[in-house]
Amino acid sequence: MENVLSGRLGYVGFWRSFLRKFPQTDIDKAFRLLKRIGLDHMVDKRADELSGGQRQRVGIARALIQDPQLLLVDEPTASLDPKTSRQIMRLICELAHERNLACVINIHDVPLAKMFAQRVVGLRLGEFVYEALRRGLMMMY
């Protein structure tokens, strides 16, 4: 819970931040997000007690509690097994769709990109080298 609520630190005053006294609306929202990502039963667990996939889901909830217009996700599946990687990518896509939220994901796993990305951009040394819809990537690989 604390980890998810830390996404609201920039939206509360100094003393509320310092004392970790979040408005009830933020606490309620954090509970809803934890339930949505399937971790409501672990609300009192510390981040270091969670698995890699659970930590990734908490990070997603921490980002979403800020009500972003754009979700930037950097390597959400790094160090995760293939099954958990697919679950995390599916969750990100579902949440982005539910919230009508644009999402930019940095990922190096081409098979995952083929499964979940709508548009793919390839970079090399900071330069665009490839851009296509998912079907273009599927034809290429």
The pLDDT assigned to 40 comes to 93
Give the list of residues 6+ apart from residue 8 with CB closer than 8 angstroms, or none. 22, 26, 30, 65, 66
**Mean pLDDT, residues 64-78 taken together:** 95
User: How far, in Å, CA of 106 to CA of 77, rounded?
Assistant: 10
Q: pLDDT digits over 73-130, tens only? A: 999 999 899 999 999 999 999 999 999 999 999 999 988 988 999 998 988 998 988 8
Domains contained in the chain, CATH given: 1-67 (no CATH), 69-141 (3.40.50.300)
> Strand pairing partners for 92?
none
Give residue for tokens 């160090």.
79
